[in-house]
């Protein structure tokens, strides 16, 4: 399975305070929109998303179709294929927002310890 770019999506209470903290660790803003309460920050190949008021918990995030620089991959496993494969393995899908036969979509699963994994395809 090709899951694409990996990041940790952090549920933060104060976007500016979190941004300042991660900048001290060498991260810099890479994407997102502070006006919409989220930033994607990068340090080398490490990616973190800072999300204020969007998610209840911190999540592991995978972006099929993207590499660690948010550049399109020539070949990737579509989010629909990934969901079908996991369901065939007995994994319960917690939420699914997938329409049509191609394009953007997302779903999430929860691991045995309660950690949420978000599979979020943007293209």
Q: What does the alpha-carbon distance between residue 79 and residue 76 come to, in Å, rounded to a whole number?
A: 9
The predicted pLDDT at position 58 comes to: 94
Across residues 87-108, what is the average pLDDT?
Answer: 95
Across residues 82-98, what is the average pLDDT?
Answer: 96
**What percent of the chain shows pLDDT beyond 70?**
100
- Contact at 8 Å (CB) between 24 and 77? no
Question: Beta strands of 53-104 (E only): which ranges?
Answer: 59-63, 93-98
Show the domain range for 107: 5-121
Residue 3: band (very low, low, confident or very high) from pLDDT cuts 50, 70, 90: very high
* φ/ψ bin of 35: left (φ > 0), alpha (ψ from -120 to 50), beta (otherwise): alpha
pLDDT in tens, 100-121: 899 999 999 999 989 999 999 9
Across residues 12-40, what is the average pLDDT?
Answer: 97
- Contact at 8 Å (CB) between 21 and 36? no
100 against 37, higher pLDDT: 37
pLDDT in tens, 66-79: 999 999 999 999 99
Global confidence as pTM: 0.89
Q: Where would I find the H helices in the chain?
A: 15-24, 79-88
93: CATH: 3.10.180.10
- Closest Cα partner for 14 from 47, 53, 61? 53
Query: How many domains are there within the chain?
Result: 1
Question: Beta strands of the chain (E only): which ranges?
Answer: 5-12, 28-33, 38-43, 46-52, 59-63, 93-98, 105-110, 116-121
Across residues 4-33, what is the average pLDDT?
Answer: 96
């Amino acid at each position: 399975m090709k899951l694409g770019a990996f990041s940790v999506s952090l549920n933060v209470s104060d976007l500016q305070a979190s941004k300042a903290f991660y900048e001290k660790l060498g991260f810099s803003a890479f994407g997102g929109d502070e006006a919409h309460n989220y930033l994607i920050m990068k340090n080398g190949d490490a990616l973190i998303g800072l999300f204020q008021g969007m998610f209840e918990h911190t999540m592991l995030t995978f972006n099929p179709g993207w590499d660690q620089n948010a550049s399109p991959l020539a070949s990737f496993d579509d989010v629909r294929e990934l969901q079908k494969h996991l369901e065939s393995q007995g994994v319960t899908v917690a939420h699914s927002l997938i329409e049509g036969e191609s394009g953007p979509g997302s779903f999430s699963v929860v691991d045995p310890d309660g950690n949420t994994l978000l599979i979020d395809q943007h293209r």
